[in-house]
Amino acid sequence: MLHISDEMVNAVVTASDAQKVLHAAFLSYADGGASMQQRIRTEADGVKLSTLGAVIPDQGVAGAKIYTTIKGQFSFVILLFSAQDGRPLATFDAGALTRIRTAACTVLLAKKLARRSAKTMGLFGAGVQGTEHAVQLTREFGLEEILVCDPYAAPDTGHRLTSASGTKVRMAAADETAASADILVTASRSTTPLFSGELLRPGVFVAAIGSSLPTTRELDDVTMAKAKAIVIEWRQQSLVEAGDLILACPEAAVGEKVVELAHVLAGAHLCRQSEDDVFIYKSVGVGLEDIALAGHAYRQVANLQGLALP
């Protein structure tokens, strides 16, 4: 059984390949050929243990992701099995996989629902996830500028993000970041809304990926009410974890707007009918994403090492 480090993942997994693998996994789920295991959290004395997983026979793998959260810091591990004979294939330091798969899913949906003319990205939170979103979305849309709002950012954040994304990055206040964006990503740990939805441009695509807790939210009621549709990964998990949905006022009509990502990718009748349509993607992260991308990483590494593939 292999152990695959984050460094190995970074060497063999590209954003483009991740998007293809995840697209296929969600189509398999939409067709009933894959299943997911809902996240379970256990906590004692400030230490939280979380597990989630998936079975994806079409891709030859099954597995689980397990991680700890201590003082807001995450440590991820994945255990991958063969879906053909049940043998364990690999363990992973899953920080890199988590980073790549989260942004890749955002890009998959943005390709469907964001305006192709998008030039400006607004980013709340310039940490690991925010940086990966800046890189992958710039590559897909050819963004010309990224406005970043992060009160905890290091002094070199703008330079670091410019180098990573290859486009102009400017630090900005919350109101300007929200008001200027064609694509807006919230990757923060805020427990309350980051901006007023009144500021949003018509036609903006919003990806809220910063929290999977029912008690926290990054988007306010105005933002939720403006949405033509709210795309989530999986009803069974998202509707009990996503505070942006759970805490929204009844007038936002969240329940009437929710559609699963798999159904959008499979061709559900959801598309931009007007340049002014606002779309929201609320991600909490699901096991299907982790196990699909882990399977791809395993196949890449096993190929290099001449091992049997699942």
Question: What mean pLDDT is predicted for residues 302-308?
Answer: 86
The 10s digit of each residue's pLDDT in 128-167 is 999 999 999 999 999 999 999 999 999 999 999 999 999 9
Q: Quick check: is 310 in a domain?
A: no
70 and 26 in a common domain: yes
237 and 89 in a common domain: no
186: domain range? 112-282
Q: Quick check: is 84 in a domain?
A: yes
266 and 136 in a common domain: yes
201 and 77 in a common domain: no
259 and 168 in a common domain: yes
Best CA proximity match to 122, nearest among 19, 239, 208: 208
In this prediction the pTM is 0.96
pLDDT of residue 310: 64
Best CA proximity match to 64, nearest among 103, 37, 101: 37
127 and 188 in a common domain: yes
Q: Quick check: is 12 in a domain?
A: yes
Q: Quick check: is 135 in a domain?
A: yes
pLDDT of residue 295: 97
The 10s digit of each residue's pLDDT in 9-62 is 999 999 999 999 999 999 999 999 999 999 999 999 999 999 999 999 999 999
* More confident position, 177 or 212: 177
278 and 296 in a common domain: no
Supply the CATH number for residue 199's domain. 3.40.50.720
Best CA proximity match to 260, nearest among 223, 303, 231: 231
44 and 158 in a common domain: no
Half-sphere exposure for 149 (CA within 13 Å, toward CB) = 21
Q: Quick check: is 103 in a domain?
A: no
253 and 121 in a common domain: yes
268 and 148 in a common domain: yes
Q: Quick check: is 259 in a domain?
A: yes
pLDDT of residue 81: 97
Structure confidence at residue 271 as a pLDDT band (50, 70, 90): confident
223 and 91 in a common domain: no
Q: Quick check: is 90 in a domain?
A: yes
The 10s digit of each residue's pLDDT in 62-91 is 999 999 999 989 999 999 999 999 999 999
Question: What mean pLDDT is predicted for residues 252-266?
Answer: 95
76 and 118 in a common domain: no
pLDDT of residue 230: 97
Please say whether the beta carbons of 158 and 169 come within 8 A: yes
The total number of structural domains that make up the chain: 2
Q: Quick check: is 106 in a domain?
A: no
Distance of CA 136 to the CA centre of its chain: 11
